Chains A and B, each alone.
Chain A
């Protein structure tokens, strides 16, 4: 291994031209082989001389060793030229020396026509691979000249067939070297293209891997840093993924959570009913339910479920996302406390003002002058308006907080309408409008709903009707809408509501923007609250109106509302 590595290092020529590198490497190999041959020959000669005692003249022995050493030095010099300077020069020198050697390798007669003729062929062959293919002809020519020269010098006839043979060899080696080079070049091109392709593929692959790594790293980072607790359950309801947040939330390690099933996980800390619910949700039985809230130990958690699907669409399991809303729940509780407190605190002083004003109006402290009476009446009217606004705001806040409760109970429709009439008819009479209440005979004498809220709804609708009607009438009609519903219709002959406004009139804080209604403005909450109350009563409200033709608000309610458990 080591030897081959060293050899490799010495034979490899550092050059950019692959052809040049190949030729020079070939020359190096040849030189190395030749060096080996020379060394072996010298050793062999020494051994033979020592063993057989063949004696020659001292000159002959000196010549033998001298030639050997010169050959070794020559080989090394050529090797170094080849390696560090130029392959072409090294090759030319080498081939010329080899040719020269061929001249003196044997007796002249043998060199031109005998056993050593073939030696001249060697440089020709080598030239075609060491230099350029066509250089074989140069060396064939050189060999021919030398052959002729030697023949003439010893008075022989130049050996023309041999010279012809030299050129034939040159031709053959030119052809073969050329096709070899051609083949190598093509191979190199193929290799190059292959390398390019492999490089491109490698690059693509590494980029894809890198992207994937980033992607999965990002997902991992999101999962790790997300504030919500995440657990993924497989189809056997065993936890297969848990993030640090859930571990922190539950006060357990991720390892503890992993592999445990939902029931084991919730044991001790969660009420049985909630545990069953969670278990069923994971089964997919209640996937329609988007989220649930329950107490887990000391914490209030909200949980949402979602099925985890594989790319084929099959369900692999479920992901549960837990959010700690202990603090929100506490805030919510504080908010409703504040709400009920402020509702009391705000209303009490206003009611006191109303009471005192009433006392003055009732002449408890002596009769009032007309101006005093007028003033006190304005005070009362404004206080009532403010009380109304506050009531609306608090109702709205309570509805938003989900705190406004409905108490379904049997009530008498007659009584309800009588109560509404007592208030609304005064308002209507003040504006010189006619007011009528009507109950169709098919309406049962007892209905089930929240009479207090119904009163609120009707007072609001009739109040609005009176407010926006300048002349004509306001009426309330109660009838059966169908077999399962009864209805309340509040009709007026007022200004009507434009079609585009009908879509937003039930939204909070929205009113028809009309300068002519400025003097009748309220909080813009009335209809929003009415709509929400109607929904809480499991009903619907509809509006029919044409500008200038008046409006009809119809509240449709179930005859048999579903009793929900009190919160």
Chain B
């Protein structure tokens, strides 16, 4: 499988299902992780092409996770989309991410975004 991997780090089951489906439609292989610490573990094992990150996560907060990803040499090529209902909180991390998605984000929005990301991918 040479498919591109998208990690959806989101604790809400419905939101993660919709996002995952949307990104699958866009052509990604998807993996849903619902807690911050699990994400930390998983990010040590794989190099995803795209991370869709919710900033409100149990145990390890999204911003902390974001800082770790950005500090990780292996993950320099990984694109990050931050999804948050809090526009101000999202603005605060704008410099570190590729895209900001203000919740509620619709299925079509995420799907179209995924398609764009897929097209513009260098690899």
User: Which residues of chain A have a CB within 8 Å of any CB of chain B?
Assistant: 344, 347-349, 351-352, 354-356, 358-359, 362, 364, 387, 407, 452
Contacts and interface: CB of A to CB of B under 8 A. Distances in A.
Contacts of A356: 14, 18, 107
Contact of B107 (A344, A348, A355): A355
B14 A354 contact: no
A355 B83 CA distance: 14
Centre residue among B17, B88, B104 by max chain A CB count within 10 A = B104
Contact of A349 (B14, B21, B108): B14
21 contacts: A344-B85, A347-B104, A348-B14, A348-B15, A351-B104, A355-B14, A355-B15, A355-B17, A355-B104, A355-B106, A356-B14, A356-B18, A358-B18, A358-B107, A359-B18, A359-B21, A359-B107, A362-B107, A364-B21, A387-B104, A452-B87
B32 interface: no
Contact of B12 (A348, A354, A358, A407): A348
Contacts of A347: 85, 104
Nearest to A351: B104
B93 interface: no
Contacts of B104: 347, 351, 354-355, 387
A362 B111 contact: yes
Nearest to B56: A344
B contact residues, range = 10 to 19
Interface in B11-58: 12, 14-15, 17-18, 21-22, 25
Given A355-B107, A358-B106, 9 more contacts: A348-B14, A351-B104, A354-B104, A355-B17, A358-B108, A359-B107, A362-B108, A407-B88, A452-B87
Contacts of B108: 358, 362
Interface of B: 12, 14-15, 17-18, 21-22, 25, 85, 87-88, 103-104, 106-108, 111
Contacts of B103: 351
Contacts of A452: 87
A359 B87 CA distance: 25
A117 to B, nearest CB: 134
Contacts of A364: 21, 25, 107
B18 A355 contact: yes
Contacts of B22: 359
Contacts of A387: 104
A342 B63 CA distance: 24
A352 B111 contact: no
Centre residue among B87, B107, B108 by max chain A CB count within 10 A = B107
Contacts of B107: 355-356, 358-359, 362, 364
A364 B14 CA distance: 16
B27 to A, nearest CB: 13
Contacts of B15: 348, 351-352, 355
A354 B110 CA distance: 13
Contacts of B17: 355
Nearest to A405: B88
Contacts of B14: 348-349, 351-352, 355-356
A364 B108 CA distance: 11
Contact of B106 (A348, A354, A407): A354
A354 B25 CA distance: 17
A336 to B, nearest CB: 15
A392 to B, nearest CB: 16
A393 to B, nearest CB: 17
A359 B106 CA distance: 9
Contact of A362 (B12, B25, B87, B88): B25
Nearest to A348: B12
B102 to A, nearest CB: 9
Contacts of A407: 88
A422 to B, nearest CB: 13
A262 to B, nearest CB: 40
Nearest to B104: A351
Contacts of B106: 354-355, 358
Nearest to A343: B85
Nearest to A452: B87
3 closest pairs, A vs B, by CB? Answer: A352-B14, A355-B18, A358-B107
